[in-house]
Amino acid sequence: MCVDYEATITREVVGLQFLSLGPQIAVHLGAILTNNCQVTELGLSGNAFGNPGCVALSKALATMPFIASVDLGSNDITEEGGLALAEAVNSCANPKWRTLCLDKNNIGDKAALAITDAVANGCKNGDFLQLLQQTIATPATNNTLMFFHLQLFAHRFVGKPDLLDVLFIKWNGLSPETIDVMRNTWASVKGTKNSAEACLAIN
Protein backbone atom coordinates (compact mmCIF):
# COMPACT_ATOMS: atom_id res chain seq x y z
CA MET A 1 0.00 0.00 0.00
CA CYS A 2 1.35 3.41 -1.00
CA VAL A 3 0.81 6.13 1.58
CA ASP A 4 2.05 9.70 1.31
CA TYR A 5 3.46 9.91 4.83
CA GLU A 6 4.92 13.37 4.42
CA ALA A 7 1.46 14.74 3.55
CA THR A 8 -0.19 12.75 6.34
CA ILE A 9 2.18 14.03 9.02
CA THR A 10 1.42 17.67 8.15
CA ARG A 11 -2.04 17.26 9.69
CA GLU A 12 -2.85 17.76 13.36
CA VAL A 13 -4.67 14.43 13.53
CA VAL A 14 -2.94 11.44 11.92
CA GLY A 15 -5.04 8.33 11.35
CA LEU A 16 -3.22 5.30 9.95
CA GLN A 17 -5.07 2.49 11.71
CA PHE A 18 -5.12 -1.21 10.80
CA LEU A 19 -2.97 -0.96 7.71
CA SER A 20 -0.38 -3.59 8.79
CA LEU A 21 2.40 -1.15 7.95
CA GLY A 22 5.13 -3.07 9.77
CA PRO A 23 8.25 -1.99 11.71
CA GLN A 24 10.16 -0.44 8.79
CA ILE A 25 7.39 2.05 8.12
CA ALA A 26 7.23 2.79 11.87
CA VAL A 27 10.94 3.67 11.82
CA HIS A 28 10.30 5.95 8.85
CA LEU A 29 7.36 7.57 10.64
CA GLY A 30 9.53 8.06 13.73
CA ALA A 31 12.08 9.97 11.68
CA ILE A 32 9.41 12.20 10.16
CA LEU A 33 7.72 12.84 13.52
CA THR A 34 10.86 13.79 15.45
CA ASN A 35 10.47 17.39 16.69
CA ASN A 36 7.15 17.63 14.85
CA CYS A 37 5.24 20.73 15.98
CA GLN A 38 2.05 20.01 14.04
CA VAL A 39 0.67 16.64 15.14
CA THR A 40 -1.50 16.47 18.27
CA GLU A 41 -3.13 13.06 17.78
CA LEU A 42 -1.61 9.82 16.46
CA GLY A 43 -3.88 6.90 15.59
CA LEU A 44 -1.54 4.02 14.72
CA SER A 45 -3.31 0.93 16.03
CA GLY A 46 -3.26 -2.39 14.17
CA ASN A 47 -0.02 -1.94 12.24
CA ALA A 48 2.23 -4.78 13.49
CA PHE A 49 4.98 -2.32 14.43
CA GLY A 50 6.48 -4.68 17.00
CA ASN A 51 9.23 -3.56 19.34
CA PRO A 52 11.56 -2.01 16.70
CA GLY A 53 8.77 0.21 15.44
CA CYS A 54 7.61 1.09 18.94
CA VAL A 55 11.12 2.05 20.03
CA ALA A 56 11.52 4.34 17.01
CA LEU A 57 8.15 5.99 17.60
CA SER A 58 8.83 6.35 21.32
CA LYS A 59 11.98 8.35 20.62
CA ALA A 60 9.97 10.64 18.36
CA LEU A 61 7.12 11.02 20.88
CA ALA A 62 9.53 12.33 23.50
CA THR A 63 10.39 15.25 21.19
CA MET A 64 6.88 16.27 20.08
CA PRO A 65 5.81 19.43 21.95
CA PHE A 66 2.10 19.28 21.09
CA ILE A 67 1.28 15.56 21.12
CA ALA A 68 -1.85 14.95 23.20
CA SER A 69 -3.19 11.53 22.20
CA VAL A 70 -1.43 8.35 21.03
CA ASP A 71 -3.04 5.03 20.08
CA LEU A 72 -0.63 2.11 19.62
CA GLY A 73 -3.09 -0.67 20.33
CA SER A 74 -2.76 -4.05 18.57
CA ASN A 75 0.85 -3.57 17.47
CA ASP A 76 2.60 -6.69 18.82
CA ILE A 77 4.44 -4.61 21.42
CA THR A 78 6.11 -6.52 24.26
CA GLU A 79 8.34 -5.51 27.18
CA GLU A 80 11.09 -3.81 25.13
CA GLY A 81 8.65 -1.53 23.35
CA GLY A 82 6.72 -0.87 26.56
CA LEU A 83 9.87 0.22 28.37
CA ALA A 84 10.72 2.56 25.48
CA LEU A 85 7.27 4.12 25.81
CA ALA A 86 7.80 4.53 29.56
CA GLU A 87 10.98 6.46 28.82
CA ALA A 88 9.09 8.60 26.29
CA VAL A 89 6.45 9.42 28.91
CA ASN A 90 9.16 10.16 31.46
CA SER A 91 11.00 12.61 29.19
CA CYS A 92 8.19 13.92 26.99
CA ALA A 93 8.32 17.48 25.71
CA ASN A 94 4.58 18.05 26.23
CA PRO A 95 3.15 18.13 29.77
CA LYS A 96 -0.36 17.95 28.30
CA TRP A 97 0.06 14.51 26.70
CA ARG A 98 -3.25 13.21 28.02
CA THR A 99 -4.10 9.86 26.37
CA LEU A 100 -2.13 6.70 25.65
CA CYS A 101 -3.75 3.52 24.37
CA LEU A 102 -1.82 0.24 24.47
CA ASP A 103 -4.74 -2.20 24.38
CA LYS A 104 -4.17 -5.67 22.92
CA ASN A 105 -0.39 -5.78 23.12
CA ASN A 106 1.68 -7.86 25.52
CA ILE A 107 3.90 -5.32 27.26
CA GLY A 108 4.04 -7.33 30.50
CA ASP A 109 4.31 -6.37 34.14
CA LYS A 110 7.71 -4.62 34.11
CA ALA A 111 6.83 -2.22 31.31
CA ALA A 112 3.33 -1.55 32.65
CA LEU A 113 4.77 -0.60 36.04
CA ALA A 114 7.44 1.56 34.37
CA ILE A 115 4.76 3.50 32.50
CA THR A 116 2.77 3.91 35.72
CA ASP A 117 5.87 5.20 37.54
CA ALA A 118 6.55 7.65 34.71
CA VAL A 119 3.01 9.02 35.01
CA ALA A 120 3.38 9.27 38.80
CA ASN A 121 6.73 11.05 38.48
CA GLY A 122 5.25 13.41 35.93
CA CYS A 123 2.49 14.44 38.31
CA LYS A 124 4.83 15.48 41.12
CA ASN A 125 5.35 19.14 42.00
CA GLY A 126 2.73 20.32 39.53
CA ASP A 127 1.89 23.48 41.49
CA PHE A 128 5.54 24.56 41.50
CA LEU A 129 5.75 23.94 37.74
CA GLN A 130 2.74 26.18 37.12
CA LEU A 131 4.29 28.90 39.30
CA LEU A 132 7.57 28.60 37.39
CA GLN A 133 5.74 28.82 34.06
CA GLN A 134 3.99 32.01 35.22
CA THR A 135 7.33 33.45 36.32
CA ILE A 136 9.06 32.86 32.99
CA ALA A 137 6.03 33.90 30.93
CA THR A 138 6.74 37.61 31.40
CA PRO A 139 7.03 40.39 28.81
CA ALA A 140 10.80 40.14 29.21
CA THR A 141 10.63 36.58 27.92
CA ASN A 142 9.61 37.48 24.39
CA ASN A 143 11.81 34.98 22.59
CA THR A 144 9.46 32.09 21.75
CA LEU A 145 12.22 29.53 21.29
CA MET A 146 13.85 30.46 24.61
CA PHE A 147 10.45 30.26 26.32
CA PHE A 148 9.88 26.78 24.91
CA HIS A 149 13.26 25.55 26.15
CA LEU A 150 12.62 27.01 29.60
CA GLN A 151 9.29 25.16 29.67
CA LEU A 152 10.97 21.98 28.51
CA PHE A 153 13.56 22.28 31.30
CA ALA A 154 10.81 22.82 33.85
CA HIS A 155 8.75 19.89 32.58
CA ARG A 156 11.66 17.47 32.77
CA PHE A 157 13.05 18.49 36.12
CA VAL A 158 10.04 19.75 38.05
CA GLY A 159 7.07 17.66 36.95
CA LYS A 160 4.16 17.47 34.52
CA PRO A 161 0.86 17.99 36.37
CA ASP A 162 -1.63 16.71 33.78
CA LEU A 163 0.45 13.99 32.16
CA LEU A 164 -1.57 11.04 30.87
CA ASP A 165 -4.96 11.42 32.47
CA VAL A 166 -6.23 8.58 30.28
CA LEU A 167 -4.36 5.26 29.99
CA PHE A 168 -5.83 2.27 28.17
CA ILE A 169 -3.83 -0.87 28.86
CA LYS A 170 -6.32 -3.72 28.58
CA TRP A 171 -5.49 -7.22 27.32
CA ASN A 172 -1.77 -7.09 28.05
CA GLY A 173 -1.44 -10.21 30.18
CA LEU A 174 -0.73 -8.33 33.39
CA SER A 175 -0.61 -10.13 36.72
CA PRO A 176 -3.20 -9.37 39.43
CA GLU A 177 -0.40 -7.96 41.60
CA THR A 178 0.68 -5.53 38.89
CA ILE A 179 -2.89 -4.45 38.29
CA ASP A 180 -3.32 -3.71 42.01
CA VAL A 181 -0.11 -1.65 42.13
CA MET A 182 -1.12 0.29 39.03
CA ARG A 183 -4.58 1.05 40.38
CA ASN A 184 -3.21 2.16 43.75
CA THR A 185 -0.54 4.35 42.17
CA TRP A 186 -3.06 5.85 39.76
CA ALA A 187 -5.44 6.63 42.62
CA SER A 188 -2.69 8.29 44.65
CA VAL A 189 -1.64 10.68 41.85
CA LYS A 190 -5.00 11.19 40.14
CA GLY A 191 -7.28 10.90 43.14
CA THR A 192 -8.42 14.52 42.98
CA LYS A 193 -9.42 14.16 39.35
CA ASN A 194 -13.03 13.56 38.35
CA SER A 195 -13.48 10.04 36.99
CA ALA A 196 -14.65 11.50 33.69
CA GLU A 197 -11.32 13.32 33.33
CA ALA A 198 -8.94 10.62 34.56
CA CYS A 199 -9.35 7.05 33.44
CA LEU A 200 -7.22 3.93 33.88
CA ALA A 201 -8.69 1.16 31.73
CA ILE A 202 -6.95 -2.05 32.68
CA ASN A 203 -7.53 -5.82 32.42
Mean pLDDT of 64-69: 90
**Residues 153 and 110 placed together within one structural domain of the fold:** no
In this predicted structure, the answer to whether residue 58 has a pLDDT above a threshold of 60 is yes
Model pLDDT, residue 139: 45
**Range of the structural domain that residue 151 is part of:** 125-158
Q: What mean pLDDT is reported for the chain?
A: 80
CATH number, residue 54 = 3.80.10.10
What pLDDT digit, counting tens, does each position of 73-120 carry?
999 999 999 999 999 998 887 777 889 999 999 999 999 999 999 888
- Based on the fold, state whether residues 108 and 80 are members of the same structural domain: yes
Task: Output the pTM of the full model.
Answer: 0.80
Residue 193 has a pLDDT of: 52
Return the pLDDT at 82: 96
Distance CA 185, CA 42 (A): 26
User: Residues 72, 151: one domain?
Assistant: no
Do 9 and 46 fall into the same domain? yes
Looking at the fold, whether 77 and 176 belong to one and the same domain comes out as yes
DSSP the chain: ----HHHHTTSSEEE--S----HHHHHHHHHHHTT-SS--EEE--SS--HHHHHHHHHHHHTT-TT--EEE--SS---HHHHHHHHHHHHT-S-TT--EEE-TT---HHHHHHHHHHHHHHHTTTHHHHHHHHHHHSSTT---HHHHHHHHHHHHHHT--TTS-SEEEE-SS---HHHHHHHHHHHHHHHTTS-TTT-EEEE-
**Tens digit of pLDDT for each residue in 6-46?**
666 778 999 999 999 999 999 999 999 998 988 999 999 99
Q: Structural domain tally of the chain?
A: 2
Same domain for 130 and 52: no
Q: Are residues 185 and 133 in the same domain?
A: no
Q: Is residue 121 predicted with pLDDT exceeding 90?
A: no
49 and 130 assigned to the same domain: no
Same domain, 152 and 114: no
CA angle 14, 83, 106 (to 5 degrees): 75
Q: Do 108 and 14 belong to one domain?
A: yes
Can you give the pLDDT at residue 59? 95
* pLDDT, tens only, 129-173: 443 444 444 444 444 444 444 455 444 444 455 678 889 999 998
110 and 173, same structural domain? yes
Q: Are residues 119 and 189 in the same domain?
A: yes
- The pLDDT assigned to 177 comes to 93
- What CA–CA distance (Å, rounded) separates 63 from 94? 8
